[in-house]
Structure 1
């Protein structure tokens, strides 16, 4: 019997997933577990596996087309198997609400209008493409659809917009000068998802970043004292990032408003801490999530962070380990960056940016000492909380880092 392959839900705020690449075509044989397509959404790019042995009977969603989670994107079944009427009915039921084959009928003008023949015809267009066309005042009858059966896709509308912008802008000297060499990189796959998600994050939230520095001299000393014992007993190499993560988890439990999400004009406060740890990959960025970090000791948290990061770099991170984060940490210290402005991972309220530790002269009482200072950058959603409570949260993190014994309790 034919098996449905659906677009998975990759995050609690996910509204759309895109098929970036089909590795198989209709009629190709597949074995259970074969990678048949790549999909992406919300900074995440993953492979879709064949649910059973058989052949690709039908592909319903083309490349670069976005559809809601739960949408059927293809069928896998036995060779020469015919899709049943039930399968077809399911496709028709889902068509109006996704990118597969949605169609609209243009409003019919009066019957005596002689030139209204085309406006009475049905124009096949995806909901997203229609929304963009309406907002940009584009006549959909003039768009050449490249989707199945001439359906107008989001890419078709974006092409029209690009052509309109090109026609309205003056020719530059660079464009006309053949002596100037330049390289153009397509924005696709994970890069395209990240670009869109970060742009939407800035458009749809009131983001503000505040900075603070913490004296981590005693923390680094404690790390040196206990790292060998922890590695011998637990086979875990404890790092500064692990201490920072522990400080963040404890601080979130004291400042619940920061451990929240802004969803549908409501602030949802969480009692659990699902900690996102940004990991840079060769082709983009992923955010593995450590679920229920509030229940873990420092050593347990360190082990989970390293396991998630390793899985992410090896492309073995499962979908459930990339969703549901309530707060995120991103660290650019390894690149020599001090303070920076991290962008929120929606719908989260906060994200902590960690910079590079610096040796500085600092007075401790009357004594001038060499101390280690860690720059911290907190971006928060001003719709959820104001500057003072955000500063208090960052100050609590600073307190834990400067009194590291508290992180072991």
Structure 2
């Protein structure tokens, strides 16, 4: 009899995943323990291991690469030699709860998520099952239990997508709503992904009232973010709090209003995270001193010029931050155009140095001098303010060490530069007087995760300690 190949559950909360590809060709013999297909869960892609052996059969209606598949869904078969292949994989199963049993076909090999246990291993009963049998109370906080008593809801009958099976207040509210409308035709259960629930709590969004864009109306993180953005947009038209005492009101200039909108967008339309670090800046100080000795009077590159060049070289080596979030995906820029923040009488401007990774430090210094002069004189053309893919902003001249730069959309990263400080440092186990530089990197977590962003900042620090290696030095 043909052995079904089904989608395993990669974690307690998983209900569906993305079928990436087959790792074996149809008709190929698969041995027990071999990896047979690639499945993408919420965190990573996993190679799925076969628990049986046989010849791979993939019917015409099997999921194609990139298709969304449900836990327990049949996607192929393993056949004995000479066995006739089934003509169809059949219909996908209905949505299952996280506490349901694991599929028996395969297990996942992964470092980031728990592996699916083979059927020979006895799994402990899920908390929901234990609660239903009366052997243990259902996990819920005091507020949730009080709300359940007030609404007459049985905790053991409440479904929650929480991986720990803990019942929250919104689970009880959803159960009460379903109970109140039980006389209406039943529709699909409203389910939100764990990431959507976490983001809803962070943004103060009631996800139970949202229409889901996922399979069978499942609520995704992007549905929560869209609702939060829409709410923020509507609140901008609501009456603002009045000043609490007398004062002078000055209408904002057009530039200030545009700047305010862009700054607000960098916080509300992105997922900003800031990393800070301190680096030994002695090589950087020595490098600039050497450039000052070689350059004509007043034309030596500034620390900011050098750091723009080093940031561009880092973006070329690690381009993840040279991107933006666009249409529910990541748009990677082909060129590296660095915007540099400039304080002007009219307000903050960010002229762009194009193809900064292809310029020498002297060329960058020449361009920044011209751009800064034109910006402060109010003669900067709009074309020089557009097209930036990454931003560098420097507050070190004001005695600032670290700060939280705000993203300049549509960009995924902005580097904040603090002051260079002469202070004690430890080198080779000895205490010496040296120079340190503080850096602040804000990145869009929708585009880049924390580890790649940290690696980018680490690579920049390495460049700062060997500045003479950049082009044109």
TM-score after normalising by structure 1: 0.56
Match runs of 1:326-341 below 5 Å: 326-341=389-404
1:345 aligns with 2:408: yes
CA gap 1:191/1:364 in 2 versus in 1, 3 angstroms: same
Residue 86 of structure 1: aligned partner: none
CA gap 1:262/1:366 in 2 versus in 1, 3 angstroms: same
- Number of residue pairs matched? 242
Residue 287 of structure 2: aligned partner: 222
Deviation of 1:282 after TM superposition, in Å, equals: 1.6
Give the Cα separation in 1 of the matches to 2:277 and 2:312: 18
Match runs of 1:42-61 below 5 Å: none
Deviation of 1:183 after TM superposition, in Å, equals: 2.2
1:406 aligns with 2:469: yes
Give the Cα separation in 1 of the matches to 2:398 and 2:288: 21
Give the Cα separation in 1 of the matches to 2:280 and 2:260: 35
Ranges of 4+ aligned residues in structure 1 off by more than 4 Å:
none
1:259 aligns with 2:322: yes
Give a deviation string over 1:194-244, Cα, whole Å, max 9, x none.
112111221100000000111111221121122231227xx7321111111
Give the Cα separation in 1 of the matches to 2:399 and 2:445: 29
Give the Cα separation in 2 of the matches to 1:328 and 1:202: 15
1:237 aligns with 2:312: no
Residue 246 of structure 1: aligned partner: 309
Give a deviation string over 1:250-269, Cα, whole Å, max 9, x none.
00001111111212222111
Deviation of 1:354 after TM superposition, in Å, equals: 0.4
Residue 302 of structure 1: aligned partner: 365
Deviation of 1:307 after TM superposition, in Å, equals: 1.3
Match runs of 1:32-111 below 5 Å: none
Residue 348 of structure 2: aligned partner: 285
Give the Cα separation in 2 of the matches to 1:311 and 1:283: 12
The two structures, once aligned, show a CA RMSD in angstroms of: 2.4
CA gap 1:319/1:215 in 2 versus in 1, 3 angstroms: same
Give the Cα separation in 2 of the matches to 1:390 and 1:216: 21
Give a deviation string over 1:149-190, Cα, whole Å, max 9, x none.
xxxxxxxx95xx43xx67xx9xx9x55xxxxx4222323421
Residue 453 of structure 2: aligned partner: 390
Deviation of 1:402 after TM superposition, in Å, equals: 1.0
Larger radius of gyration: 2
Give a deviation string over 1:318-337, Cα, whole Å, max 9, x none.
11111000000000111111
Work out which of the residue numbers 200, 203, 208 in structure 1 matches 2:273: 208
Match runs of 1:65-214 below 5 Å: 158=237, 161-162=238-239, 174=244, 181-214=246-279
Secondary structure of 2:295's counterpart equals helix
Work out which of the residue numbers 363, 369, 372 in structure 1 matches 2:426: 363
1:273 aligns with 2:336: yes
Query: Quick one: higher RCO (CA 8 Å, sep 6+), 1 or 2?
Result: 1
Give the Cα separation in 2 of the matches to 1:314 and 1:216: 33
Deviation of 1:136 after TM superposition, in Å, equals: 5.8
Secondary structure of 2:410's counterpart equals coil
Q: Which runs of 5+ in 1 are unaligned?
A: 1-131, 138-156, 176-180
Give the Cα separation in 2 of the matches to 1:381 and 1:222: 32
Deviation of 1:342 after TM superposition, in Å, equals: 0.3
Deviation of 1:301 after TM superposition, in Å, equals: 1.3
Deviation of 1:284 after TM superposition, in Å, equals: 1.1
CA contact (8 A) 1:288 1:321 kept: yes
Higher mean C-alpha deviation, range 396-405 or range 260-269: 260-269
CA gap 1:368/1:314 in 2 versus in 1, 3 angstroms: same
